Amino acid sequence: MAIERKPIRRGGIKSAGYDRSNRVLEIEFDNGSVIQHIAVGEEIARRFIGASSPASAYKDTIQEEFTIKRIK
């Protein structure tokens, strides 16, 4: 499954994208690693991608709350 990511380039996060039909949030970090969080609601993903501080939003609402699958 290929998820189109949008550039973020803030707080160590290079890009992120969301697959609405599978509820998967994919995040690429500045160090080149790519992970997916499973079963993420659309509103949570939208708020994260549009956040002025995406690193804080990630730590506060996503990192420990959703299953992680390492892609790269």
Say what the pLDDT of residue 48 is: 96
In this structure, are residues 25 and 45 in contact, taking their beta carbons and an 8 Å threshold?
yes
Say what the pLDDT of residue 50 is: 94
Angle subtended by helix axes 54-61 and 42-49, to nearest 10: 150
In a domain, 1, yes or no: no
Short-list 30, 23, 11, CA closest to 67: 23
In a domain, 59, yes or no: yes
Mean pLDDT of each 10-residue bin along the chain, 72 residues long? 90 96 97 97 96 94 96 93
CA distance 40 to 22: 9
Q: Which domain does 41 fall in, by range? A: 6-70
In a domain, 66, yes or no: yes
In a domain, 55, yes or no: yes
Secondary structure letter of residue 66 according to DSSP: S
In this structure, are residues 37 and 68 in contact, taking their beta carbons and an 8 Å threshold?
yes
